[in-house]
Structure 1
Amino acid sequence: MSFGSGHPLAYPSSVTIGALAICLAWAPFGDLDQVAALATVALGIIGYSSYRIAVALGFLAFWPSGSARTVGVSRIRQQHRLLSRSWLEISGTGRPRWLPVYFDPALMTMTESRGDLSDRTIYVAGHRLYPCGRVRTTEPPGRLIDNPSRPAPDAPTRTTTASHLRRRLLLDAQSTVAAPFAALLWIYVDGGSFTTFLAATCVAAATALWLSAIRGSDPS
Structure 2
Amino acid sequence: MACIAALPADNALDQVSALAIVVVGVAGWTLRVWYRSARRVPLGTAASVRRVRQQHRLTSRSWLEIDGKTWLPVFFDPALVTLPSPVTAEVSTTTIGWNGHVFMVSGRALSAEPPGRLIDNPLAPDADAAERGAVAARPLRRLLLDAQSAVVGPFVGLFWVYLVGGGIPAFVGATCVGAAVAIWASAIRGSDPS
| TM-score (norm: length of structure 1) | 0.77
Root-mean-square deviation (Å): 2.3
Shift of residue 126, structure 1, vs aligned partner: 2.6
Please say if residues 55 and 133 of structure 1, whose CA atoms lie closer than 8 Å, have aligned partners that are also in contact: no
Which of 89, 112, 115 matches 2:65? 89
Please say if residues 54 and 61 of structure 2, whose CA atoms lie closer than 8 Å, have aligned partners that are also in contact: yes
Q: Which residue of 1 aligns with 2:8?
A: none
Write the distance in 2 (CA, Å) between the matches of 1:120 and 1:80: 23
Please say if residues 79 and 130 of structure 2, whose CA atoms lie closer than 8 Å, have aligned partners that are also in contact: no
Q: Which has the larger radius of gyration?
A: 2
Superposed CA offset, 1:102-156 (max 9, x none): 0000000101211112334321123111111122212111111100011123323
Please say if residues 55 and 131 of structure 1, whose CA atoms lie closer than 8 Å, have aligned partners that are also in contact: no
Which of 105, 121, 138 matches 1:164? 138
Shift of residue 50, structure 1, vs aligned partner: 2.8
Q: Which residue of 1 aligns with 2:53?
A: 77
Q: Which residue of 1 aligns with 2:125?
A: 151
Name the count of aligned residue pairs.
Answer: 187
Write the distance in 1 (CA, Å) between the matches of 2:180 and 2:137: 20
Please say if residues 114 and 125 of structure 1, whose CA atoms lie closer than 8 Å, have aligned partners that are also in contact: no
Write the distance in 2 (CA, Å) between the matches of 1:32 and 1:113: 55
Q: Percent identity?
A: 50
Q: Which residue of 2 aligns with 1:29?
A: 4
Q: Structure 1: which 5+ runs fail to align?
A: 1-25, 62-66
Please say if residues 55 and 132 of structure 1, whose CA atoms lie closer than 8 Å, have aligned partners that are also in contact: no
- Give the ranges of 4+ consecutive aligned residues of structure 1 lying more than 3 Å apart after TM superposition: 26-30
Write the distance in 1 (CA, Å) between the matches of 2:18 and 2:182: 16
Shift of residue 96, structure 1, vs aligned partner: 1.2
Asked if residue 54 in structure 1 is aligned to residue 47 in structure 2, the reply is no
Structure 2 counterpart of 1:68, one-letter code = G
SS in structure 2 of the partner of residue 103 of structure 1: coil
* Residues 168 and 119 of structure 1: CA distance in aligned 2, closer, same or farther (over 3 Å): closer
SS in structure 1 of the partner of residue 192 of structure 2: coil
Please say if residues 75 and 88 of structure 1, whose CA atoms lie closer than 8 Å, have aligned partners that are also in contact: yes
Asked if residue 133 in structure 1 is aligned to residue 107 in structure 2, the reply is yes
Asked if residue 103 in structure 1 is aligned to residue 76 in structure 2, the reply is yes
SS in structure 2 of the partner of residue 139 of structure 1: coil
* Residues 47 and 32 of structure 1: CA distance in aligned 2, closer, same or farther (over 3 Å): same
Asked if residue 176 in structure 1 is aligned to residue 150 in structure 2, the reply is yes
Superposed CA offset, 1:14-66 (max 9, x none): xxxxxxxxxxxx6993610001111111122123223333333347x8xxxxx
Shift of residue 159, structure 1, vs aligned partner: 1.8
1:194-213 alignment to 2 at 5 Å? 194-213=168-187
